[in-house]
Structure 1
């Protein structure tokens, strides 16, 4: 069995799993909050949760990108086919890009639509963006498209991880999985 301590360092694993859990909570909230006929109280709660968790995620995503730049990921096993290595690199780059596009487009949609971002408002940040229905609509379309691309890439990412864990049974899975203690 591969050494569970090999692979990504503990901070990288913590960033990965913390952001992953937050994103996996935000997806159903985001998909549900815009549904027709949803009780107003539930809809408001979902919007509050989604917007403010997005605000909280931004510094963690930026910190993760900085950490990854300073501490590059461990090399993939030489036994991995080159096409899988290319797909892994491309999909990771796209995941990071979408993790940046999602909060920026969401923030732009909300502010250009003239809506509050409660956490930022409480902290005294101004709107930064003037109200513009055109900009709000463009940002909303980008946010919607990016959300579905993110969902598809996450599904590919999880499928690849499960492939390495259950079929190949190689060290790729254990590189990011939280290490066992003792």
Structure 2
């Protein structure tokens, strides 16, 4: 049985931390795989990992959004000023938007570029898009721009969470911390 902590429900916490771990694995993979002079075997492995995890994340992110629409988040403590509530709401909306844009733009970049997505190819899923270098280039630019925004927003999100956990100690951190099994 899980401890009944105040805050987000267990499914929301599981979605949050599962996606967080996946994104925190994909960011360095994405940054390293595009470096010049990288060992080709390592580069290929990172591309396969990054593309396939991105495809797996699409339904998980959509499920998380559906869950979020049906289950409102718990209110922030009254001690959180109105301007911080507004920024928190806007930053969460931007995170959700970027979590959708990233895998979709990556998918379009890969498929329009004529490249495989091994998991989808294995499952017999067709490319869905004709090869188009202009479309692939646009998707690549969108993916790179969204990646930079996502990294910056995640840094802000983590910094705010740590500020609440270590300095304010106002319960905001514990709202999303994974539930503990009760003993």
| TM-score bin, normalised by smaller chain | over 0.9
**Residue 42 of structure 2 corresponds to which residue in structure 1?**
42
- 1:56-102 CA-to-partner distances (Å, cap 9, x unmatched) read 11111011000111111001111110110000000000000000000
Unaligned runs of 5+ in 2: none
**Residue 130 of structure 1 corresponds to which residue in structure 2?**
130
Q: Scaled by the length of structure 2, what TM-score is found?
A: 0.96
Q: Scaled by the length of structure 1, what TM-score is found?
A: 0.97
- Distance across 1 between alignment mates of 2:95 and 2:166: 23
How far did 1:181 drift?
3.0
Deviates more, 1:120-129 or 1:92-101: 120-129
Unaligned runs of 5+ in 1: none
Q: Stretches of 4+ moved more than 4 A in 1?
A: none
Contact 1:4 1:175 in 2 (8 A): no
How far did 1:149 drift?
0.2
How far did 1:178 drift?
1.3
How far did 1:171 drift?
1.0
- Distance across 1 between alignment mates of 2:34 and 2:181: 42
**Residue 68 of structure 1 corresponds to which residue in structure 2?**
68
Total equivalences in the alignment: 180
**Residue 151 of structure 1 corresponds to which residue in structure 2?**
151
How far did 1:4 drift?
6.7
